[in-house]
């Protein structure tokens, strides 16, 4: 075994050690590494009362109601869903431009005793699909996709399609 | 017997040969970078369609995504040259690693800056501590740390050795960045291009993006090669100056005569 082979071996062993140590650490901290919890996570195990956490999911179709508060600040109430479970959310403030029904959102706030999530921050979380407006229109007109119900269909069905 | 990989690469260890061979490549690299990047940028910024929901803001992608790919791809390159440096003790590997990290740090910084500029109008925030953004910030610090560490020693060899070890340890971060959006839920959306399913971008957006990515990659390579060449030349000049100073000291050349 030459010195180069020995060095290569040592390096390989170190890489294996560091790799498995990192993998173990990340697995151990799995719960702390998630940015938000889904309605199903909350249904399974509700966080202790009054604790702030992030709730994420899709804005349910037909659930958004916007009103104007007495102080002139906009209020919004909507439901966040992950398909299986749904949590009602209230929020006072300006919503991000991308906020709409069927869009992903991540909200920061507290769960009140009546089961409503009172959000102090709402962030929009868009999907990984990028398409020109005319292609999106064509998908909508042909009934292949209703943006209010969630992300677009599989990319292979539209990513080479022309708009008209 | 010498392994074929290291042996083959040792031909380039001769500084004169390195400068000659890379000198021929340089102009093509610069030319290709300007041509491809120019095409990609004009295509992406002026001719590609906007996104149906993000509008014109989506054009930040033509800079942000290539920067993100280069930050991770470049770091993978740094890991490879660090292995070459530690195992085969190749002098060019040390040189490449030393010249890569400032460019890598700049690219990662641009990725973070453009991402932040994109995040504010779309997500509603400049920054969040989700797994993707945080791991890229760690990558930025790894690049900066490497650049500082290799320059922190009086003996360049020790700096190169320490830098190579840091680069290898930091290598675990690259798969974490790549898969952070799949392993944990994040505010950042999952991959659109580098995934097994069909790309989630319409071809009218995908093709200018790939052109920009190729252009930025050529520019990245050109910058690093140009830095490596000037470092080799600098070392040569220093060698010549040292030699001439030594000739002065030994008194072989009379005072005041041209060296």
CB B32 within 8 A of CB B225: no
pLDDT number for residue B107:
97
Q: What residues of chain A, 25 to 84, have a C-beta less than 8 Å from chain B?
A: 26, 30, 33-36, 38, 56
Hey, are the CB atoms on B197 and A22 less than 8 Å from each other? no
Label each residue of B68-108 as H, E or C.
HHHHHHHHHHHHHHHHHHHHHCCHHHHHHHHHHHHHHHHHH
Q: Complex ipTM, two decimals? A: 0.88
Answer whether residue B259 shows pLDDT above 70. no
Q: Which residues of A touch B83 (CB under 8 A)?
A: 11
Which chain A residue's Cα is nearest to B122? A98
Computed from CA positions of residues B180, B182, B185, B188, in that sequence, does the dihedral angle turn out positive or negative? positive
pLDDT number for residue B10:
65
- Reading the block at residue A10, the tokens are 């040592």
- Of A11, A34, A125, which has the smallest distance from its Cβ to B83's Cβ? A11
Q: Which residues of A touch B206 (CB under 8 A)?
A: 159
Q: Rounded mean pLDDT of chain B?
A: 90
| CA proximity to B49, closest of A137, A153, A130 | A130
Answer whether residue B150 shows pLDDT above 80. yes
- Of A4, A128, A156, which has the smallest distance from its Cβ to B191's Cβ? A128
Q: Which residues of A touch B185 (CB under 8 A)?
A: 34-36, 38, 56
Q: Choose between B141 and A139: higher pLDDT.
A: B141
pLDDT band at B256 (very low <50, low <70, confident <90, very high): low
Longest dimension (CA), chain B: 78
pLDDT number for residue B3:
46
pLDDT number for residue B159:
92
pLDDT number for residue B2:
44
- For the ranges A15-24, B12-21, B81-90, the lowest mean pLDDT is seen at B12-21
Q: Which residues of A touch B199 (CB under 8 A)?
A: 155, 159
Q: Which residues contact B72 (CB under 8 A, 6 or more apart)?
A: B139, B174, B177, B178
Q: How far is A73 from chain B (nearest CA, A)?
A: 18
**Statement: the pTM of the whole predicted model exceeds 0.95:** no
Q: Which residues of A touch B172 (CB under 8 A)?
A: 18-19, 22
β-pairing verdict for A117-125 and A86-92: parallel
Q: Which residues of B touch A133 (CB under 8 A)?
A: 49-52
pLDDT number for residue B8:
55
pLDDT in tens, A131-150: 999 999 888 888 888 888 88
Q: Which residues of B touch A36 (CB under 8 A)?
A: 185, 187
Q: Which of A20, A119, A128, A162 to mutate to test the interface with B (most CBs of B within 10 A)?
A: A128
- Of A18, A106, A128, which has the smallest distance from its Cβ to B192's Cβ? A128
Which chain A residue's Cα is nearest to B47? A132
Q: Which residues of B touch A160 (CB under 8 A)?
A: 202-203
Distance between CA atoms of B186 and B129, rounded to whole angstroms?
9
Answer whether residue B6 shows pLDDT above 70. no
Q: Where are the domains of chain B?
A: 15-188+203-239
Q: How far is A71 from chain B (nearest CA, A)?
A: 23
- Reading the block at residue B174, the tokens are 């690259």
- Of B49, B200, B205, which has the smallest distance from its Cβ to A128's Cβ? B200
| CA proximity to B235, closest of B19, B3, B9 | B19
- Of A8, A19, A135, which has the smallest distance from its Cβ to B87's Cβ? A8
Could you give the dihedral angle defined by the CA atoms of residues B162, B80, B143 and A23, in that order, rounded to the nearest 10 degrees? Answer: -90
- Of A125, A137, A159, which has the smallest distance from its Cβ to B202's Cβ? A159
pLDDT in tens, B23-78: 989 999 999 999 999 999 999 999 999 999 999 999 999 999 999 999 999 999 99
Hey, are the CB atoms on A11 and B87 less than 8 Å from each other? yes
Q: Which of A4, A34, A35, A160 to mutate to test the interface with B (most CBs of B within 10 A)?
A: A35
pLDDT number for residue B42:
96
Answer whether residue B126 shows pLDDT above 90. yes
DSSP code per residue over A4-73: HHHHHHHHHHHHHHHHHHHHHHHHHTHHHH-S-B-HHHHHHSPPPTT--EEEEEEEPTT--EEEE-TTS-
Low-confidence ranges of chain A (pLDDT < 70): 1, 163-164
């Amino acid at each position: 075994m030459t010195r180069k082979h020995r060095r290569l071996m040592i390096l390989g062993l170190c890489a294996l050690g560091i790799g498995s140590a990192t993998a173990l650490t990340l697995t151990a901290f799995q719960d702390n590494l998630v940015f938000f919890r889904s309605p199903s996570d909350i249904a399974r195990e509700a966080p202790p009362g009054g604790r702030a956490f992030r709730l994420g999911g899709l804005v349910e179709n037909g659930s958004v109601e916007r009103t104007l508060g007495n102080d002139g600040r906009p209020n919004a109430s909507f439901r966040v869903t992950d398909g299986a479970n749904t949590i009602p959310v209230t929020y006072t403030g300006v919503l991000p431009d991308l906020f709409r029904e069927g869009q992903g959102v991540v909200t920061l706030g507290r769960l009140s005793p009546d089961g409503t999530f009172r959000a102090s921050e709402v962030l929009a979380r868009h999907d990984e699909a990028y398409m020109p407006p005319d292609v999106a229109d064509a998908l909508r007109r042909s009934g292949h996709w209703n943006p209010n119900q969630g992300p677009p269909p599989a990319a292979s069905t539209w990513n080479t399609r022309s708009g008209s | 017997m010498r392994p074929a990989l290291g042996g083959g690469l040792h031909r380039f260890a001769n500084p004169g040969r390195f400068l000659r061979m890379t000198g021929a490549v340089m102009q093509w690299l610069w030319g290709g970078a300007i041509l491809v990047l120019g095409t990609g940028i004009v295509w992406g910024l002026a001719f590609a369609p906007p996104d149906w929901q993000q509008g014109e803001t989506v054009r930040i992608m033509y800079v942000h995504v290539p920067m993100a790919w280069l930050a991770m791809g470049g770091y993978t390159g740094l890991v490879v040259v660090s292995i070459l440096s530690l195992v085969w003790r190749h002098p060019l590997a040390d040189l490449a690693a030393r010249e890569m990290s400032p460019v890598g740090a700049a690219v990662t910084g641009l990725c973070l800056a453009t991402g932040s500029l994109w995040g504010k109008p779309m997500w509603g925030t400049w920054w969040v501590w989700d797994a993707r953004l945080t791991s890229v910030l760690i990558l930025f610090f790894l690049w900066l740390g490497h650049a500082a560490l290799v320059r922190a020693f009086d003996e360049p060899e020790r700096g190169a050795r320490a830098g190579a070890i840091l680069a290898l340890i930091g290598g675990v971060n690259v798969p974490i960045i790549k898969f952070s959006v799949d392993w944990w839920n994040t505010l950042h959306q999952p991959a659109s291009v580098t995934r097994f399913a069909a790309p989630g971008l319409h071809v009218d957006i995908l093709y200018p993006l790939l052109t920009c990515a190729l252009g930025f990659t050529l520019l990245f390579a050109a910058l690093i090669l140009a830095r490596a060449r000037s470092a080799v030349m600098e070392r040569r000049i220093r060698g010549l100056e040292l030699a001439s100073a030594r000739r002065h000291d030994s008194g072989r050349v009379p005072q005041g005569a041209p060296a």
